[in-house]
Amino acid sequence: MPSLTSVLGALDSTSDRAVFRQIADRLREAIDKARFKEGDKLPSETELVEHFGVSRMTVRNALALLQQEGLAVSEHGKGVFVRPRPPVRRLASDRFARRHRDQGKSAFTVEAEAAGSRPEVDGLEVKEERPSQDIAARLGSPRKVLARRRRYLLDGRPVEFATSYLPLDLARDTPIAQPNPGPGGIYARLEEMGHHLDHFEEEIRARMPSPQEVRTLHLAAGVPVIHLIRTAYDTEGRAVEVCDTVMAADAYVLSYQLPAT
């Protein structure tokens, strides 16, 4: 293993930047340049104290800063590790293509396979409920909806939590109301029922997560989320589903293809 001198270098004694921030800078640069890869254990407090000739509190402040930025995570009794960030490219122009549904694949499965990751779904809940004012307005003001809540994982790591809302008169007593709606997911079932999908509208914003979202997605301190609300319309212009999704911001790259004219 390379020496810490070759990996982290030395501090600049002439700089007016706080010493703990300089140490964090050296560690951050080493992570960015893959000298420490995802999942790697960072040097221990003792090793960093000896290498930089600083106090243990200074080192702890540097490591805490990296954790606040979402670059590192502490595991009790084991040390501080580079936080894994699943590289998933969310291809908005392709992820809902009919050919994927015809192959019995959901959008999440397609993206996970493209990234070479293992997709999982847990925390599944399907229930009838009254919609919020916002969801009701998007769906044409139904009195009740069928809500499908689930958490998505890649290689065992939570990356996304989503809730789909469908008008109850459309979804009740259909496979969509079952925990497993079948190959291709709920969009495939909607099309089998005659609701051929025409287009989607998506609204996206970034924000800091709620405490519940931090727990659900196992987010490190300082990691924001992407909040996406997607409305699906059929060829008759009816809104047939609204999906409210929260994603770990460092787990996805959002890609769009825009027309040139």
Task: Round to whole Å and give the CA distance between 226 and 248.
Answer: 6
At 229, phi and psi to the nearest 5? -120, 120
Q: What DSSP string describes 5-73?
A: HHHH----TT--S-HHHHHHHHHHHHHHTTSS-TTPBPPPHHHHHHHHT--HHHHHHHHHHHHHTTSEE
- Cβ-based neighbour number of residue 18 at 10 Å: 13
Nearest to 232 by CA among 196, 192, 199: 199
Burial 98-113 (b: 16+ CB within 10 A, else e): eebbeeebbbbbbbbe
pLDDT tens, per residue, the chain with 261 residues: 568 888 898 999 999 999 999 999 999 999 888 899 988 999 999 999 999 999 999 999 999 999 888 788 888 889 999 987 655 655 555 566 667 666 666 677 777 777 778 889 998 999 999 999 999 999 999 999 999 999 999 888 898 999 999 999 999 999 999 999 998 889 999 999 999 999 999 898 989 888 899 999 988 777 889 999 999 999 999 999 999 999 988 777 666 665 665
Given its phi and psi angles, is residue 18 left (phi above 0), alpha (psi -120 to 50 degrees) or beta? Answer: beta
Q: pTM score, two decimals? A: 0.70
Q: How far apart are the first and last CA of the chain?
A: 53
Q: What pLDDT score was predicted for residue 245? A: 94
> What per-residue confidence (pLDDT) applies to 246?
95
Q: Which has the closest alpha carbon to 65: 36, 42, 88? A: 42
Is residue 142 a contact partner of residue 131, using CB atoms and an 8 Å limit?
yes
Q: CA 151, CA 159: separation in Å to the nearest integer?
A: 8
